[in-house]
């Protein structure tokens, strides 16, 4: 099955920045630590875009409340969080009210990976705005130069007293803890498939 591109939050924020700070995109949350990742995305967007970034829970919002929240103000960045899973009815309602969701500032849909099917099937108007801008949330590391990557790998190796090969072997044997440092290590070794 084809996959969406995986991008670190910094890259996602950079994409929005070059667009002129408008536009829509969707980010598929990681299966674990979704709340922490959402906080991280919010921080990264605020840092790169240099503007307030709000998180709005979609499940709890009525038409009027959502419309008003998005337009007061309408030029900051907002992350619309799908939460644990929106009902089909809520998806249809969101799709119908697409015009009311349009605003000056960027809109980021934060969705669970399974929700992308609902976006495609139940909300074609919103999907059309997003186009192909659907990214899987990935760990940071993408903007490092090769020198920086080697330096970070050395740091990790010295800190944990392990070589890269040992980390890969442990991950393959499912003996590696799910700590962020090990995730980063595997990604830097281009073995994100083991995460």
Partner 1 sequence: MPSSLTALQGQLSRRDKFRAYMQAFNPTAPARDVIEAGLVCEDLHQSLYRNLAARADLEPGSQQLLVGGVGSGKTTEMLLARRWLLAQAHVLPLYIDVSKATDLGGLNTGSLVASLGLSIAAHLAPGFKDYGPGGKLKAELGGPFDKLWSYAYGKFERVYVAEGDDFPDDFDLDDSEDEKGHYTFKRIPGKLRPPMPSLEREIQDIREPLAEFLSYLRKTQREIVVIFDGLDRLLDATKFWSVVHQDLRLLRQLKVSVLATAPLSVLFGAGVGQSISDHFDRVHHLSVIASGPENTSLQSVLEKRRASELLNLQEADSICYYSGGVLRDLISLSRDAAEEAYVSDRDSITADDVKKVVHQLGTGYLRGLGPRAIQTLLQLQNSKSFDVSLPANVELLLTRRVLECSSTDFRVHPALLSVIPQPEPKRA
Closest distance to partner 1 from the beta carbon of 156 (Å): 25
Closest distance to partner 1 from the beta carbon of 152 (Å): 20
**β-pair partners for 25:** 108
Residues near 53 by beta carbon (within 8 Å), at least 6 away in sequence: 42, 45, 46, 76, 77, 78, 79
Instruction: Kindly write out the interface string for residues 8-47 of this chain, putting x where it contacts partner 1 by CB under 8 A and - elsewhere.
Output: ---x--xx--xxx-xxx-----------------------
Window 75 to 134, contacts with partner 1 (CB under 8 A): 92-93, 95-100, 102, 116-121, 124-125, 127-134
Closest distance to partner 1 from the beta carbon of 134 (Å): 5
Closest distance to partner 1 from the beta carbon of 109 (Å): 12
Q: Count residues binding partner 1 (CB under 8 A).
A: 42
Window 135 to 174, contacts with partner 1 (CB under 8 A): none
Of 132 and 177, CB closest to partner 1:
132
- Report, in this order, helix, strand and coil percent for the chain, each rounded to 5: 50, 15, 35
Residues near 83 by beta carbon (within 8 Å), at least 6 away in sequence: 57, 58, 59
Q: Which of 56, 116, 104 is nearest to 81 (CA)?
A: 56
Closest distance to partner 1 from the beta carbon of 126 (Å): 10
Supply the DSSP string of 153-173, one letter for each residue: HHHHHHHHT--HHHHHHHHHT
SS3 62: coil
Q: 62, 72, 145, 147: which one contacts partner 1 (CB under 8 A)?
A: 62
Q: CB of 185 within 8 A of CB of 153?
A: yes
Where on the chain is the footprint of partner 1 (CB under 8 A)? Answer: 1-5, 11, 14-15, 18-20, 22-24, 62-64, 92-93, 95-100, 102, 116-121, 124-125, 127-134
């Amino acid at each position: 099955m084809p996959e969406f591109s995986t991008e670190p939050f910094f890259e996602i924020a950079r994409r929005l920045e070059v667009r002129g700070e408008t536009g829509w995109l969707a980010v598929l949350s990681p299966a674990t630590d979704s709340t922490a990742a959402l906080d991280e995305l919010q921080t990264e967007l605020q840092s790169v875009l240099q503007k307030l970034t709000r998180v709005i829970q979609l499940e709890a919002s009525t038409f009027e409340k959502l419309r008003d929240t998005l337009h007061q103000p309408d030029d900051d960045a907002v992350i619309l969080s799908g939460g644990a899973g929106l009902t089909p009815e809520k998806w249809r309602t969101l799709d119908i009210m697409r015009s009311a969701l349009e605003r000056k500032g960027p809109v980021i849909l934060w969705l669970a990976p399974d929700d992308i099917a609902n976006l495609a099937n139940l909300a074609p108007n919103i999907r059309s705005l997003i186009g192909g801008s659907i990214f899987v949330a990935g760990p940071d590391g993408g903007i490092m130069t090769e020198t920086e990557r080697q330096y970070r790998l050395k740091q990790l190796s010295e800190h944990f007293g392990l070589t890269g090969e040992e980390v890969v072997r442990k991950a393959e044997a499912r003996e590696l803890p799910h700590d962020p440092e090990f995730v980063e290590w595997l990604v830097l070794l281009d073995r994100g498939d083991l995460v």
